[in-house]
A and B are shown apart, each in its own frame.
Chain A
Amino acid sequence: GDSVTQMEGPVTLSEEAFLTINCTYTATGYPSLFWYVQYPGEGLQLLLKATKADDKGSNKGFEATYRKETTSFHLEKGSVQVSDSAVYFCALNLNSGNTPLVFGKGTRLSVIA
């Protein structure tokens, strides 16, 4: 079945460091791909998305490129801040049918000053 695999955390970085969180997927069709962020004590918020191969989603300095050849959607940010500390979830949604989002298990990021 469809699935999403994320790198396991926690990830701890110093402020202004470069961030990469790996995400790979398995899907039978042509999915849309998403990154969600969950700040402490809150629900998930959509961070960015890409709906077809080679699309780049971006928001708040975060970027991810839909790579069909490697079935990946890695999240990157050039310079993290303490306020980026959160749990990040990669997810996919097939572009046909009525199937719900499939989420990865999440990666906890802690940024220290």
Chain B
Amino acid sequence: NAGVTQTPKFQVLKTGQSMTLQCAQDMNHNSMYWYRQDPGMGLRLIYYSASEGTTDKGEVPNGYNVSRLNKREFSLRLESAAPSQTSVYFCASSGDRGYGYTFGSGTRLTVV
């Protein structure tokens, strides 16, 4: 099925552990994004990649790193997880500007 695939769907980490959230799209989109969603805060942009080989910080980049591995894949890494990073993480991709984004189904991360 065409779309954006995120793995894993659920994860529990201990404070200080590291992990990588994976995202892949098969729509040949140039741009990819990572958001986090917290209650009452809406969606906040962590990092984005406007094209293969480029990445830029969003609104809340601290504590995260990203890699645009190729045109299809855009991963998000937490080097040392903190309870404040407990959230639902969404990856999205977009092609032409006027067509909006396609979102993955999310990764629910809990840091204890």
Contacts and interface: CB of A to CB of B under 8 A. Distances in A.
A45 B98 contact: no
Interface in A40-98: 42-46, 49, 51, 89, 91, 93, 95, 98
A91 B48 CA distance: 17
B42 A105 contact: yes
B53 interface: no
A113 B46 CA distance: 39
A89 B104 CA distance: 16
A15 B69 CA distance: 47
Size band of the interface chain A makes with B: 20 to 34
Contact of B103 (A44, A95, A104): A44
B112 interface: no
B103 to A, nearest CB: 4
Contacts of A34: 100
A103 interface: yes
Contact of A100 (B40, B45, B99): B45
Interface of A: 32, 34, 36, 42-46, 49, 51, 89, 91, 93, 95, 98, 100-101, 103-106
| Leading 6 A-B pairs by shortest Cβ distance | A105-B42, A43-B103, A46-B100, A44-B103, A103-B43, A98-B50
